[in-house]
Each structure stands twice: as structure tokens, then as C-alpha cells.
Structure 1
């Protein structure tokens, strides 16, 4: 000890003091270590008592951790100044921002918007192919269409051939008028149908995108033009109005819509090998498992692929869009049309859905966003109509909403057979060994007959408020009947539950109808935990992170039981602290989704998205588009 004290240059008395303190700390640490459980999980675990977990990490834990890292990395790329935003635009897009970009960014700062360039990727994916088309041709095509918003000299008006339709165009017009003073002259053609419209075959789109890539360049700032040409050439040409452009639409092939989509899929994707189903009277072809191409141990890990029908040929017999839509008006030719949603292969230009813009409490729930988490009922709540397409007595079991209700209302799960396989007209689950292999946590629930049924019934409150039969049925008084004879043994009608009451439950799932769900934005803005399965893409997808802001599940709904098993209390091999932690995770996702929606899905954020989109669109239809741009920041630096 004296030698060691001398060797390190510390006085002997002080060395003894240090040595005694070190021994004391080691003893304290040993006692604390002894009191800890044998296994401490990774820091992913959330909640005040999360450290008490003794179970190994669940796959969803890994997905949450990865998703949070992704969001952190994304936010690190936020632009705080005009110069930063313009620089990041040029880096990502390969050209200058459009004229009007400065005023756009000033509005972003004024409204405290979060500006990350990747949030606007969808704009460039949608507009990319149009760089290959002739600008004047596009201007002419749009000018005489029956549904459009026209902007001239900063004022917006709408044109429609039928003002008695649902007020989508009115909502869009009111919205665009709120910032039209900053827009150049343009005509927006609008899709006012539920169904998607444009499906250009993949080889043609690939050709267009290659042409766009060749046009992409950073023009010398001294040669850049900062003023749009306007549409005076179109407005002053009487011949255009006299001979309106008529686009070619396919309207009589709804049962074979899958084949139109398949032609828009890239080479090598699974959908390419499958034709549309010829006879929907056959039983449903339910997948034995979820594709590993977009899952991690059975749970969604790649949301882009998870909503892509090209990756899931079984969807041709499991989603109403591919079985028989209510209406069909599809084209294989590219044409500038704006829409609220589309399939990943469609070629419409996305804007926020019209019903996201309404204040109707039916879609928004009003100003109430839910009770405190601890006061909410431990329930998964869903009410809706049997929309999604035109189901009939010969095809109804193929429709996604019918499958959704049968898989979640508990009653149908009584169909337990000696084969130990769960099946109904709308789905057929894998055998218990196979299902347990993919989702080990479900194994205990499946050991006892009817255990799964009683468990689902204990938390799920789902049902139709209207079965929307085809053909429609009426009683003797001429009132439409809400139930269908052909589903009477399998489906019933339940009373509706207002949105504000649904917000007093913890779990609010969202599935497709005829197209996108108009309630999704409101679900995100509530303080409930939103769950989502969809094959549609929307304007906001690039700014939402699954497993951080909401919980994704597969369009087959095969993983739903395992997702709910993760969040809900269980009496099987799970500690009280585990239940507490899982509930805390559910609450944290609900809170994060609400806070994020109130930061990036506000009306102001929708303004910014559509504003920038229309600046870009106006440039594409301008004859001087190759030299149009904003370079004020570069000139200022010089």
C-alpha cells in the first residue's frame, strides 16, 4: 500500500480515504445488484416500472426502437432558415425550388411548421412523370374539364357539372382560396369519385421518369427566370373551349380491375404472375403467413411494401377494390388529375382528402379528443358501413370490411373444428401450430378451445351500422333495409357510436372503405391509440412513422391478434409490471401520435403541402419550365 501510494503520487492519508470510499461504493453496488432481477431488458422498455421486465424483448419492442431512431434522424434534417431549406431542396431534387418558394417558406416560419424536405417526397413522385409531357397540351387538357378549381390573378373559383354531389370540390375550393393570392394561374382537375382513376402501365411510366431524370439540372442562377408565364394563351383561345378535351376512360371492367393494376406493377413483383380472379363464388384464398418482404417476425416493418398490392397478389381476392368497385372510370393514359388518395400504382397527384377539410363532427369528433388514458375503456372500437365495393350474394365473403368484422366481433371465432383451424366464409386462419410458430405469444391463447374467441370478445367492440346490400332491399313502407338476406346468418347491424364516444376507448382501428378513411386524421389527433391497415397512399405518408405515431397491421388482418396480444393484459406468463409497461407503451404511442398530428397535420401544414405542390405543378405546365426557379438565396450570397 505505501508503495502504491508513492507510485501514483498521492499522500498516504488521502490514499486511505479514497480506498475506503471505493470499498463502500462497491458494497452498495453489490447490494443493489443483488436486488435487481436477473435480466434487465434494453433501454427500449418504457414506463416507470419497465426495468422490472424479465421477459425477452418482443419483436414490437425492436420495431418501436428502430422507428424512434428513424424519426430522430429525420428531425435532425429540419430546415430552420430559407437558405437551409433551399439548399436541401437542391440537394434532394436536383433543380432549383420553384418561383414563389421564398413566400412559401415565410409562411412556414410564421405558422411554426416543421420543414423537412423528405416530407414533400410525394409531390415529386406524383409530378415526376409529367415532366415528360408537353406543357401546352396539359394546359389545354385541364382547361375544359367538368370538375376543377381555377386560379386566376390570385383568386380561386370552382367549376362542376353537378353541385349536388357530396361537397368535395367545395371543400377543396374553400381550402385553396385560403392561400390562392400566392399562387400563379392554374387549373386543377379533380377526381370527385371514391375510386382511383389513372393506371398507366409500368413501361410507360418508367420511360417518362427517365425523361424527367434527363431534364433535372441546376441551371446557372444568371439564366433562371423567376416569373411564371401564366395562362393567357389558353384563356384567350376560344377554340379550346369550343372543342373540349375528352379523355379516354375504361368504365366496364370492374371485376377485372386487378389486371389493370397488375400492368402498372414493376417487373419481378409477385402480382405480375396472377390474373384477376375469374369466379368470386369460390372460397377465399387466405394467405398462410404475412410476407417476410415487409415484416419483422410477423409484424409490419416496411409500411411502403405493406400497402402495395404488387407485393400481395392475394389482395386480388381479399379487397373490394379488386373484386367489384361501386363504379369504375380508369385510364391508361397520363393526364394531370388531383385526388385525395390512390393506390401506390395510380398516377393521380395527391392532395389532402376533401373530408379531412370538413369540420363535420361525424368525421372529426368535434373539439373533444378523448378522456384521460387511465379513464378509457380497455376496448378496441369500430363502427362503419359494409362499404369497400359492390358486394353481392355470390361474392360478399371476399370483401375486406366483412372479413374485418368477422375477425374482430368474437362470434365468428366460435367456428372451431377438430382440425384446430379457425375458418369462416371471409377467412381461414392457419393451423394452430403454424400460427403459434409465427406468433409464439399467441400459443397460450390457442391451447384451449374457444380461448381465442372469448379473449377477442373481451376487448373487441366492432360491427356494421349498415350492410349496404346489392341490390338494395326495402320494406313494405319503402324504407331501405340495413341488413342483407345473404349475410343474415353471419352479420348483424349494431347501433352507431359517435366519434366522441369512441374516443373514450383506448384502441381505434382504421380500415379501408371504398377508398381512404376520412376519419384517419381525426384518429391521429385524438389521444387514443390508432391502428391502421390500408392499400392506399395519401399526402401525409412521408411524415408519419409507424410504431411511433400509430400501430400498423396487415391488410389480411392476420397479425391483428398478435398486435393486440402485445398491448392487452394477459393471464399467461406475463408479470404485472409487464402489463404496466405495455399499457405505458400504448399510451406513449397515442400521445406521440396526437402531438405529432398537431404539429404536422394541421390545416396550416396542409396549406404548405398543397401550396408547394401547386407551385411545382404550375412550373411543369409552363413552357419555360426548364429555367423557372427561385435563386434569391444564391444571388444574395453572391
Structure 2
């Protein structure tokens, strides 16, 4: 999470007025109330004294920061008096505490803070929404819903009937009529993802107005409107934003009956050319951004262009500071050849028209409206993503290292492009043998990455200076593929599809998968993108292990999670991951445990199924309003007339 603006809509991300920081005593009172709402979890972790490092991992000399080359073989590296991550943790905790001081505890507060932040009245139905949110013990902080307004705002630039017409009768639509749901789909059976969202919306009945909720059941994002068009829509929204007089407010939605007989709208989906997807990206980037000035690569059968330094716009001395900006691909044109989304996505169906589509995730340049992932909603059905009831044991009993298992998803794994895939890069960078070969000058061993030149390296790792980076990585990393997803697939003589791949076999060993119960035996659980977002992220957050998160895909919950408080962010180049592990393994185990415990307690309070209901309900109220002909006057004002 970042308290800075969302990168695409600038003025649309309304910031609180200055001078509203609560006095210290009042802030402590509010924080105490906030902690009370962390029900169902163990005592809030930031109130629990943390024990000294008691990890049971082997080779603890290396894990405590020892370096080779001294008498006796190993000696401890002196601790730095101050580390950049210390700054990030301290600043993040301060921001989070300030944010929690803005919690709304009654309807009047919630409506007032809505008007202050959004510049208009809440939509009709806001009072019932807040009533249910309180019944569900939701923690209501207005900033937690910023994503809704980032996603909704461009639609104020379209004519309301156009929005209704574009959403009507599309495949995979949840149609709400008279307090009941009618699914519309082109398949013989309702898609798994759509069924999860139907079940979620069903919980809101009969309190939603009539609407058509068109959902994206694909992994990939689909709506990519050019930047200039979004700016035009944004300017229109700004002009319309006003707190109208109370006596002009309308309480009843008009519905969607006028489009019932319209033909299905055709947004002219663009299929194919998945390897040229960056050309859609660049048109959606701001004109002065680095991503706007580069095109898709002509070929991926070429050497990878690894960045030679961290991106300064969102890092502090090499470490991610602004997580929102770190997701912005317009700031990272090198990712066009380093992330599977831009190499060759599994599927592609994209339009440049502003279509009202709801999706699980999107790129910073995409224009879907985000809703909770179906994988998160199906936590009791899809235990391969949720882990079921597994949460892990005490921190002191965990292995002092990192573990990851997964498939080589993210792009089509072909013999002429695979080294550009982000998951292949992550596996190689976390493989000590590969890293040692790179240190020895064998660049063929690691075609997916490069080690930073000493003069440009902000991390200055002792193990690397001693030429022992690979040995050090081997001491704490257990990272491997369980399926290489070869394209085209390779088959055994008996016709069974293989998990191996001839063009990867020399550099990657395929191992068996690992159940969550075993994953949580380790302290550090990294999470990287697959074909889009990673469906395991919520489970990792709710575990007793520490999630390390790298992604280019924003999700619905980002505004309620604070990096360096609830999880540890790392860059999409992965160049900072060695520095992060060096920090935590070299005398900062206590900080790692604290983030893990606070992340688990907080996630158990704000990422529940009920929180997904609260978020989506409010989103649909805003959506119903923006597609209504009376949208400028639809408003909840009862709190002002009592």
C-alpha cells in the first residue's frame, strides 16, 4: 500500500486535507479501539514481546551473516549501525498508525469522511451498507476504498446509457433484477470464477439496485484505454464532482430496463499478437513516462536487458518504498522483456474502449474494476491456493530460510523465449549453484539475469564481495519448479504429459510440489506473479510465515495492506531480494517475526470473506450510480436532515 496517489489518475486520487493528524493521546485511544476489532485473532502482534532468534535452520553461521575467508573458515560480519530497511519499516509504521486514526465508528462519521475524500455525497444505499459492515465487524477506513474510486472515476466521462448498453447481455454477466440474480453466460455450465462471484453478490440481495455486472473469467486483463482518452474522462469526472444541496438529492435508482432489447455491444476485441502486448501498454502510459517511448521487442530470441540499477522513482536506496508505483509498468520499460505478460501471455483478448468489466487484477494501465479473486472466495474449495486451515507453527520452530514451489507459468515456455520469463528468472536467482556459476563468469548458466556491477550495486553484500554469493544463497534458499509447462507440451512414450522440458532440462530440475503445511515450516515465503496475480498471496498473508511480495498486478485489497508492516515488498527485477534476505538473516529476525505476526493478525481482520462482501457491495452501489441517468443527483443525505 502507498499513501501516495495512484499513478494513472493523478487528481482523481483525492488526498485528505492537511492538518488532520490526531493528537497523540487521541490517536492512542483510536488505535486501542482499532485493536479491539482484530477479533478472532490472537493478541495483536505489535503488543506481544518478540523472542530473540530461535530458528532451527542448519548452517546458522551463514544465516547470521558470517562470511568466508577468515581464520577458522567463517566469521561474523559486523552489523551496520543503520540500514535503509530500518527507515522503511519506521516510516511505514508511522503511516499505518496515522491511517488507523481515521477509522469511522458510526454512520455519520463514515458519510462525512466520504464527502471529504470523494467530493460528493455517498450513493443511495450507503446507510444499509454501513449497517451490514458494522454487523460484520468490518474495519471502515475511507482510504481502504480508494481503489473503487480509482476504477470508477473514468466512467463518469461516458454517457450513462452507453455504460448500461456496453454491459448488457455480455457473456459472463451477473444480472441483478428486482433483488434477484440472473446469470448470463455462453458456456454449457457456469464458469467456476463466475459462480464464486454469483455467490458473493447473492449475499447482498435484496439490497442492490438493478445492474449488469460483466466479469472477466480470464487470467489476463482486457481493457486498455489510451492515456489521452482516460485523461479526457478524468477531466469530465472532475467537472461533475460536487456536493449537491440536500433538497436536490434523489434516492431511487432508475434501473436498466431501457437497454433490455439492445443487441450485445461489440468492443472490437483484439486477439493474437500476444508477443506485441507492450504496444497496447505504451499507449496507456503517460506521455512523459519511460514506458511510453519504447515499443514491443521485435524478437525474444535475444539477450535479456537487465536493468543496471534500481528504479529511483519508487525505491529508497535500492528497496521498494512506494509499492503502488512499483506495480506501475510505465516506470519499468525493461519489463517488456522480463515479465511473461509481455513476452507471450497464454491468452489475449484486449480492447481500447472503456468497457465496464470487473476483474480479479489488472495492470496499472488497465481499466477493469477490481473485485476479490474467485480463488480467495473459494478458500474452502481450492485448498491448493488457500491452504485450507493451515497457518503454520511458531516462528521460533521455522526453518531460517526461503521456500517456493510452483509451475513455470506466466508465458508460453518456448525454446526461443523462455529466459525472458519472470518465474524462470526468480528460480535461477534463488539457485545458489546458478549464482555461483555467474560469479565465476559463466553467464550461460544464468541467461535470465545479471549480477549488478559493484560500482552500481547499492546493496554491497559481504558474501558477494567475497565471491561467495552462490554459497550464501544455497544456505537459505529452497526454490524450484514442480512443472515446466513446456510449449508445445512434451509427452512420455505412454502418452502422459511430462512436467519436464528439453530446452530447460540442463538448467532446471523439476521437483515435487509442497503442501502448505510444509511451506509454512519456513520463515520466508516469496510470492511472484503467474499468468497474472498469484492466488496464494492471501493464504501467505494469513500464515505465520513472512510473505515477500513482487507483482505488477494491483488487487482489490492493496489499499488496506501496508508494505513493511504487513508484508515485505521486492522489486519486479528481483535485484533487491538478496539485500532483503541479508537484512533479515543478519540480525533482524525479530523485525521479520513482527511483520509476519502483524500481517497475519491484520489480514485476519481485513481480508475475511465478510470484508470482500463489504468492499464489493460498496463498489456495486457506485457502479449502479455512475450508469444511472440521474447519477449527478443520486445521493445518500439522511444524516444531514436529522
Q: Which residue of 1 aligns with 2:615?
A: 609
Determine helix, strand or coil for the equivalent of 1:263. Answer: helix
Q: Which residue of 1 aligns with 2:38?
A: none
Aligned counterparts, 1:297-336, within 5 A:
297-336=317-356
Structure 1 ranges of 4+ moved more than 3 A? 46-50, 163-166, 416-423
Deviation track 1:91-122 (CA, whole Å, cap 9, x = no partner) reads 11111000000011111111221111111111
Distance in 1, matches of 2:112 and 2:445, equals 56
Q: Which residue of 1 aligns with 2:484?
A: 467
Gaps of 5+ in 2: 1-48, 54-77
Tell whether 2:523 aligns with 1:517: no
Tell whether 2:235 aligns with 1:217: no
Tell whether 2:426 aligns with 1:404: yes
CA contact (8 A) 2:224 2:365 kept: yes
Distance in 2, matches of 1:484 and 1:200, equals 37
TM superposition shift of 1:48: 6.7
**Alpha carbons of 1:419 and 1:54: their partners in 2 closer, same or farther (altered >3 Å)?**
closer
Determine helix, strand or coil for the equivalent of 2:480. Answer: strand
Tell whether 2:495 aligns with 1:478: yes
- Alignment partner of 1:281 out of 284, 293, 301: 301
Deviation track 1:116-167 (CA, whole Å, cap 9, x = no partner) reads 1111111111011111111122212222111111111222232221255851
Q: Which residue of 1 aligns with 2:197?
A: 172
Determine helix, strand or coil for the equivalent of 1:486. Answer: coil
Tell whether 2:508 aligns with 1:491: yes
TM superposition shift of 1:49: 7.2
Report the count of equivalent residues. Answer: 569
- Alignment partner of 2:474 out of 457, 463, 472: 457
CA contact (8 A) 1:432 1:446 kept: no
**Alpha carbons of 1:233 and 1:406: their partners in 2 closer, same or farther (altered >3 Å)?**
same
**Alpha carbons of 1:234 and 1:460: their partners in 2 closer, same or farther (altered >3 Å)?**
same
CA contact (8 A) 2:439 2:470 kept: no
Q: Which residue of 1 aligns with 2:402?
A: 380
**Alpha carbons of 1:418 and 1:462: their partners in 2 closer, same or farther (altered >3 Å)?**
closer
Distance in 2, matches of 1:165 and 1:384, equals 28
> Which of the pair is proportionally richer in helix?
1
Q: Which residue of 2 aligns with 1:501?
A: 518
Tell whether 2:590 aligns with 1:566: no
Determine helix, strand or coil for the equivalent of 1:546. Answer: coil
Tell whether 2:122 aligns with 1:97: yes
- Alignment partner of 2:593 out of 587, 592, 597: 587
Tell whether 2:255 aligns with 1:230: yes
Gaps of 5+ in 1: 1-45, 570-578
Distance in 1, matches of 2:118 and 2:445, equals 50
CA contact (8 A) 1:467 1:483 kept: yes
Determine helix, strand or coil for the equivalent of 1:476. Answer: coil
CA contact (8 A) 2:438 2:446 kept: no
Determine helix, strand or coil for the equivalent of 1:487. Answer: coil
Deviation track 1:20-67 (CA, whole Å, cap 9, x = no partner) reads xxxxxxxxxxxxxxxxxxxxxxxxxx95779xx974121111100000
- Alignment partner of 2:215 out of 176, 182, 190: 190
Tell whether 2:468 aligns with 1:446: no
**Alpha carbons of 1:362 and 1:193: their partners in 2 closer, same or farther (altered >3 Å)?**
same
**Alpha carbons of 1:218 and 1:447: their partners in 2 closer, same or farther (altered >3 Å)?**
closer
- Alignment partner of 1:537 out of 542, 554, 567: 554
Q: Which residue of 2 aligns with 1:339?
A: 359
What RMSD, in angstroms, separates the aligned Cα atoms of the two structures? 1.8
TM superposition shift of 1:244: 2.2
Q: Which residue of 2 aligns with 1:118?
A: 143
CA contact (8 A) 1:157 1:173 kept: no
- The structure, 1 or 2, with the larger RCO (C-alpha pairs under 8 Å, 6+ apart) is 2
CA contact (8 A) 1:420 1:432 kept: no
Distance in 2, matches of 1:169 and 1:420, equals 48
Q: Which residue of 1 aligns with 2:172?
A: 147
Aligned counterparts, 1:329-368, within 5 A:
329-358=349-378, 359=380, 360-368=382-390
Larger deviation: 478-487 or 135-144?
A: 135-144
